[in-house]
Amino acid sequence: MSDSESPDNRRKHARTPLSLLVQFRFNTFEDFLADYSHDISPGGMFIRTDEPQEEGSIIYLQFSLKDGSRLIEGMGKVVRCNPRGVAGRVAGMGIEFLNFDDESMALIQEICSSRETPTRPKN
């Protein structure tokens, strides 16, 4: 894979580091599972897990702001899997947000904006 084809160059949104407990459920599970996110963007999130589901799987997500005040929930799709034990990669799955209400999307955008790293001022 060339540098121009690396996942970082194909992303539509910049990733914001975020360790937040995420509850999720797949159609094949009755109970919710829970793992921590690695990062988030307005388009999706990466969830750290030793047992990622296969690409294309549909997932129902729930997570709250750290103060527990707001619940964010919606549907997503697994678009990337990193198996456990691959050097230099966090084990887990990349999730693309599919169906979140406007309020949840606004909260996600707010999380990303509030945690952005400052950029150099333009001359």
Please count the structural domains in the chain: 1
Q: Residue 45 sits in which domain range?
A: 25-114
Residue 60 lies in a domain: yes
57 is a domain residue: yes
Q: Which residue has the higher pLDDT, 29 or 117?
A: 29
Q: What is the pLDDT of residue 39?
A: 94
Residue 53, in any domain of the structure: yes
42-83 residue pLDDT tens: 999 999 999 899 999 999 999 987 777 788 999 999 999 999
| Residue 79 within any structural domain of the chain | yes
Does residue 70 sit within a domain? yes
Q: What is the mean pLDDT of residues 81-93?
A: 91
Summary mean pLDDT of the chain: 83
The pLDDT, as a whole number, for residue 87 is 86
Determine the Cα–Cα distance for residues 20 and 58; give it in Å rounded to an integer.
20
Can you give the CATH number for the domain in which 29 is found?
2.40.10.220
- pLDDT grade, residue 5 (50/70/90)? very low
User: Kind and range of the H or E element at 7?
Assistant: helix 7-10
At residue 27, the pLDDT reads 78
Cβ contact 34:50 at 8 Å? no
Q: Examine residue 38 and state whether it is found in any structural domain, yes or no.
A: yes
pTM of the model: 0.80
Percent of the chain with pLDDT over 90: 53
Q: Does an H or E element contain 8, and which?
A: helix 7-10
Domain presence at residue 49: yes
